[in-house]
Structure 1
Amino acid sequence: MSNIENIFLDRRKKEQDLKLTYSKYIFNSHLIMFLIIVLGAALINYSKWIAVASQFELYSVFIAATIAFSYYLASNKIKTYIKEADSVFLLPLEKYYKKIGAKTVMSLTTTHIIAVIIFYFATKPITSIIGSINKLGICLLLMIIILNNLLKYFQVIHYTELVWVKIIQFIVIFIQILVVFIVNTYILIFDMIGVVALAYCTFYIFKNATNKASLEDQEKFVVKWNEAAEYDKHRMENYLKFVNMFVDVPLSGVKVARRKYFDILLPKLTKENFTKENSFKYYYYRVFLRQENTIYLALRLMLLAVLVIFSFKNTYVSAIAIVSYSYLTIIQLVPLYKQMSNNIWHSILPIDESIKVGSFKKMLSNVTLITTLLLTIIAICLSNFEIVNISITVGALVVANIIAKVFIEKVK
């Protein structure tokens, strides 16, 4: 038994070390300082909004936050740490996996309880106005969280994931959180119905996960090794894809789905796209929008810039945000050329290197111009329509594109 525990303990430690390594690159001193400033600005605006918000606005924001938080609790994946080869090498030790599974459920439950505490303090300014704390509701919420994680575990390890069960889990958690903060007869009725539905889901999963043909020397619940391994592989793929928006990670073997919703941004496919001068221009746009996570890198930085602009609503701060966005985006997009040049498709067509470089530079210039222009429009709309403010913001747009141009010229 100790052998299988040591195996999974070692896997857990290796994954934690990997995530810690990537976190050091992502949360560097510059980003931490930036996030602290953004958090301070958000808290200031949050306190000001609380003072003037109407009851309808308070309820709307709280319900929206509850929906998002309920989705997190219902969709957060468990960490099985099971690999494909385990179905062969760990099969004789299958009956000892339940102790590891119990630790997995406890770990996820602890994480969710901490998240509930954070959610409580984050929404307390709103809930102290619109409602009061229901202590019995808190106990029921903790029980539902534990039951929710047990259902996840049994579906992944012993049965199969069911969409309708996930939907019920989400609805029950959402209603239960409302019960904790808002006392209402109708909500309590729906809460009781939800608890009964969740109890039925538990009974259904346990009943169908039971190995009816098991012998005396077999476990009542058989581990679905292959399905659990695929589940955990998909979990790590999602994590690596997210981290790849910040730093380069090894994505070999990771499935990257084509993003059809970005097709509208691609140039219209015509015979002109395959001429000598335009061929790589079209390929670079495809890579930027489909195959790499670079577009999410730009969107992420844009979102942070918009958050700063919206929080401060100051022309000078907006100008700094636009210029900073341009600098941070372009220094991370410029190395993309060497990364793409290592792919075999980059060398198939007999095209001069100067045409490839020129097409890449033009693509980066267009991306920078469009995104900084959008930020400029947002900054102008959020500020007073005065000539001085507009001039400063437009000046920041010009400076941002000049900086981008300087770095783009370094592509060779």
Structure 2
Amino acid sequence: MSNIKNIFDDRRRRERETRVTYSKYIFNSHLVMFLIIVLGAGLINYSRWLENASKLEMKTVFIATSAIFSYFLVSLKVKTFIKEADGVFLLPLEKYYGKVALKTGIILTTIHLFFVIIFYFIIKPLLAHIGGFSEVTEFTGIVGVQFLMLIVGVMMNVFYRLAEAIYFEKKFFMKILLFMNIFVSILVVFGKYNYLEYATFVILIIISIIIVKNHSNAKKALLLNNSMGYALKWNEAAEYDKHREENYLKFVSMFVDVPLSGIKVARRKYFDILLPKLTEQNFTMENSFKYYYYRVFLRQENTVFLALRLMLIAGIIIYSFNNIYVNLVVITSYSYLTIIQLIPLYKQISNNIWHSILPVSEDIKTKSFKNLLTAVILITTFILMLLSIVVGKFNYLTIGMNILSFILANLLVRVFIVKVR
């Protein structure tokens, strides 16, 4: 028992240390300063909106944010820490994994409840206006029971999805039930929609019945290990945890170099219109890598969607704040964040064998890649500039500030693009 406990404790510790290391690079002084500015602007606009919004609008926003937050909790992947080789080397200790999973579930439940507390403090000013749960009260009577049901719902969400990853068969309707359970509980506790409290009890009972049934089926269908545990889905659990780690590394790859095991390529026909027309000129020495880089950018998972995600976030901020000075900071910051994340792509591509097959000089390769980055930033910042002009007041100041932001964003690219080598 101590061996398997030490193994998974060590994996948990190493993952925590790795994430702390990446966080030090991600949350550098520039990004932290940008986030502080965005947070300050958001709080100012949030307070102004609360002063002018009607109760119907506030209730609609509360219900929508509660639904989004509930989906967020249900969609967060649980951690199994199981690797591909564990099905062979840890098979004799399989019956002890249940205690490891219990510790993991308790940690994850604590994290989820911490998210619930953060969510409460975010919506607290909103609840004060619509008459919701806005002050600290004694958790006794009905309020205490409702809050306890929310905690049970969060705990059940974590432990069921953990069991689903390692023991049970995955079922989509269970995700819906878990979502409804948390969503309705939040409406009852924070929004004081007391007429929904019976729905929470019904959903919890249904989930409990399904869990008991799945437990019974697993006990009958899966191999018993001396009546102390059940045969884990080693391969499925390892694939699940590998996918979880890959998702995290793909996110981190937007900021720093990470050891991704491979490059996934997809046939995205809807991006073909952006590719240069295939002619003999694409295969000349000067233009060959220009065409290759465009194809890689549009096909690789952590490139084109990286830029699109950042552009979407920048667009949402521009639309939400509708302030020419905030827009200037956002467009410039978008350019900075995108370029520093796309520059490492050159080193990643150069590690592939096809990059060294053609007898093309390194200067041509780097020049072609720089042209690609310049085109990407030029097009995306132009789109953001147009969005800023459309949503803002159409006057000379707005047009001038947006043109300035467009120029600054692309000048910033020229500063960092020299690092491509």
Same fold (TM over 0.5): yes
Alignment pair present for 1:318 and 2:341: no
CA distance, structure 1, for counterparts of residue 225 and residue 382 of structure 2: 70
Contact 2:263 2:301 in 1 (8 A): no
Could you tell me which runs of 5 or more consecutive residues in structure 1 were left unpaired when the two chains were aligned: none
CA distance, structure 2, for counterparts of residue 27 and residue 73 of structure 1: 24
Contact 1:327 1:400 in 2 (8 A): yes
Match of 1:107 in 2: 107
**SS of equivalent to 1:349:** coil
Match of 1:79 in 2: 79
Aligned-residue RMSD, C-alpha? 2.8
Query: Residue 92 of structure 1: CA displacement?
Result: 1.7
Match of 2:140 in 1: none
Contact 1:262 1:289 in 2 (8 A): no
CA distance, structure 1, for counterparts of residue 158 and residue 344 of structure 2: 42
Match of 2:268 in 1: 260
Count of aligned positions: 411
Query: Residue 244 of structure 1: CA displacement?
Result: 0.9
Contact 1:58 1:126 in 2 (8 A): yes
Alignment pair present for 1:158 and 2:162: no
Q: Which moved more, 1:106-115 or 1:275-284?
A: 275-284
Q: Which moved more, 1:235-244 or 1:216-225?
A: 216-225
Contact 1:158 1:222 in 2 (8 A): yes
CA distance, structure 2, for counterparts of residue 311 and residue 61 of structure 1: 14
Amino acid paired to 2:178: Q
Contact 1:66 1:174 in 2 (8 A): yes
Contact 1:74 1:166 in 2 (8 A): yes
Match of 1:244 in 2: 253
- CA deviations 1:180-211 (Å, max 9, x no partner) are 23344663454344223212321222122214
CA distance, structure 1, for counterparts of residue 56 and residue 64 of structure 2: 12
Contact 2:222 2:230 in 1 (8 A): no
Query: Residue 325 of structure 1: CA displacement?
Result: 3.2
Contact 2:318 2:330 in 1 (8 A): yes
Match of 2:139 in 1: none
CA distance, structure 1, for counterparts of residue 340 and residue 237 of structure 2: 40
Q: 1:78 to 1:316 in 2, by over 3 A?
A: closer
Match of 2:68 in 1: 68
Query: Residue 48 of structure 1: CA displacement?
Result: 0.8
Match of 1:124 in 2: 124
Alignment pair present for 1:386 and 2:395: yes
Q: 1:211 to 1:295 in 2, by over 3 A?
A: same
Q: Which moved more, 1:11-20 or 1:334-343?
A: 334-343
Match of 1:137 in 2: 146
Contact 2:336 2:409 in 1 (8 A): yes
Alignment pair present for 1:199 and 2:208: yes
Match of 2:409 in 1: 400
Q: Which moved more, 1:197-206 or 1:98-107?
A: 197-206
Specify which of 359, 372, 395 is matched with residue 381 of structure 2: 372
Amino acid paired to 2:66: T
Amino acid paired to 1:93: L
Could you tell me which runs of 5 or more consecutive residues in structure 2 were left unpaired when the two chains were aligned: 134-142
Alignment pair present for 1:169 and 2:178: yes
Query: Residue 403 of structure 1: CA displacement?
Result: 3.7
Contact 1:11 1:81 in 2 (8 A): yes
CA distance, structure 1, for counterparts of residue 394 and residue 310 of structure 2: 26
Query: Residue 148 of structure 1: CA displacement?
Result: 1.8
Query: Residue 323 of structure 1: CA displacement?
Result: 3.3
Q: 1:26 to 1:261 in 2, by over 3 A?
A: farther
Query: Residue 23 of structure 1: CA displacement?
Result: 0.8
Contact 1:211 1:221 in 2 (8 A): no
TM-score (norm 1): 0.89
Contact 1:131 1:181 in 2 (8 A): no
Query: Residue 42 of structure 1: CA displacement?
Result: 0.6
Query: Residue 44 of structure 1: CA displacement?
Result: 1.1
CA distance, structure 2, for counterparts of residue 213 and residue 235 of structure 1: 25
